[in-house]
Amino acid sequence: MNEERSKILKLQKEVKDVKLNALLEITKAINNNFSTAQLLDLYQEILENRLGVGKLVLFSFDEDWSCILKYGISEAFNHIQFENELLEINEIETISFSKGNFSKSFEIVVPVFHKQIPLAYVLLGDVNEEKIELSAAIKHLPYIQTLTNIIVVAIENKKLFKQNIQRAQINKELELAQNMQQMLFPRELPNNAGLQVSAKYLPHQQVGGDYYDFIKLNNHEFVFCMADVSGKGVAAALLMSNIQATLHSLLNYTHNLKDIVIELNRRVLSNTNREKFVSLFLAKLNTKSQQLTYINAGHNAPVLFYENKFSELVKGSSLLGITENLPIPPVETFNYSSEFTLVCYTDGLTDTNNPQEENIALEAIKDIIRNNHKNATDFINNAIIFYAEEFKGEQDFPDDIALLTLKVTDLGF
């Protein structure tokens, strides 16, 4: 009797040593940054060869539930599918499904949770289902649960680490793209007794497809524009950078707005294959002749406040990037003899919704301009953005918003 008890105690000690050594081995593997495949191989070797667990299936969640490890199962489970009844299990229990195939081949399910979120499910069983003795899966269940939690958490941490690296890379790329986009915008805008220009840009994402520019040609001529690429993000920003480079290049050879718009349309077509389009308002201000000339290529009409009346600069052509044969009408001309205020904007402003799903009305923007036209242009921009912020409430802006406000005050400058 004492000899038999000694054998049992010896066997128990050997099993404990096996389990302890296995835990140390797993810990060492994790510290040495073993791959997920290596960790799963070690996990299987411990359960199958050292503890004698006959069969196992491990499901893990990564955007969807999938089987990441299986052994000891029949060909019927070669293409094993996750069964949603598993999601009803939140603690270790024997399998007793009313439907599905798992209850026919496995004894126990071990769920792995993190903050009430399921990370994995392990199905356990023995090959010889005729055995009367207690199965290895049940005999070593607490240890298997501990080992499984360690493995699953290690794999999850590897996923998170990889995601964090990827996220850091993406954020770095977006930061670089954002810095590049900021370089597209003019660094200095006129702010003197005769001409004030201010701009404001609110990207919906870190980078966007809105663009404005103000370019001095000589002491009395300026070209400025407001544009919007369809879509958002880096792709829209890259196309807009190409448009900016093209515009600046063209201005070295011509100041003819019609020729510039035709070439910009050609460039958009060649770069996008009609998959994106661009709205553009392009204008030239001549303070000597007191003329503002413009072409509006499908852009939101800028609002002109002149002699206490509003005009919308809408005339022009269709969007850029739609057709090769862009119909360009004559350049529109506005002659002025007193001061005026012009506000250019992108559709992110007027597409802004309130909680009642109403858009910002253009009349509300006009009221802000009328009430503030004697103030500085940056004050007008800030007043418009403040109104939009109040209007939308807790909701996000639906798109990028760009504002370019110009005011001619002293006609003798």
Per-residue pLDDT of 30-77, as tens digits, reads 888 888 889 999 999 988 888 888 888 899 888 888 888 988 887 766
Nearest-10 Cα torsion for 364, 368, 371, 372: -170
225-240 b/e (C-beta count within 10 Å ≥ 16 → b): bbbbbbbbbbbbbbbb
Give the pLDDT score at 285: 95
- Distance (Å, whole) CA 216 – CA 199: 16
Nearest-10 Cα torsion for 364, 368, 373, 377: -110
- Distance (Å, whole) CA 229 – CA 182: 16
Q: Where are the domains of the chain?
A: 2-163, 185-408
What token pair was written down for 160? Answer: 């998170």
Give the pLDDT score at 103: 63
2-163, CATH topology level: Beta-Lactamase (3.30.450)
Q: What is the pLDDT of residues 375-391, one digit of tens each?
A: 999 999 999 999 999 98
5 by Cβ neighbours in 10 Å (0-12 / 13-18 / 19+) ranks as exposed
346-358: average pLDDT: 87
Higher pLDDT, residue 154 or 18: 154
The residues with which 292 forms a beta bridge, in sequence order, are 285, 334
By the 8 A CB rule, do 120 and 69 touch? no
Confidence of residue 172 (pLDDT cuts 50, 70, 90): low
Q: What is the pLDDT of residues 276-325, one digit of tens each?
A: 888 999 999 999 999 999 999 999 999 999 999 999 999 988 888 888 88
Residue among 185, 209, 183, 205 nearest 197 (CA): 185
Q: Is the pLDDT of residue 413 over 70?
A: no
| Best mean pLDDT range from 128-132, 173-177, 361-365 | 361-365
Q: What is the pLDDT of residues 135-170, one digit of tens each?
A: 666 777 888 888 888 888 888 888 887 777 777 666
Q: Is the pLDDT of residue 99 over 50?
A: no
- Distance (Å, whole) CA 264 – CA 278: 10
- Distance (Å, whole) CA 120 – CA 87: 10
Residue among 151, 99, 102 nearest 124 (CA): 102
Higher pLDDT, residue 315 or 102: 315
Question: Please, what is the average pLDDT of the chain?
Answer: 83
At the top level of CATH, the class of 185-408 is alpha beta
- Distance (Å, whole) CA 39 – CA 27: 10
Give the pLDDT score at 48: 87
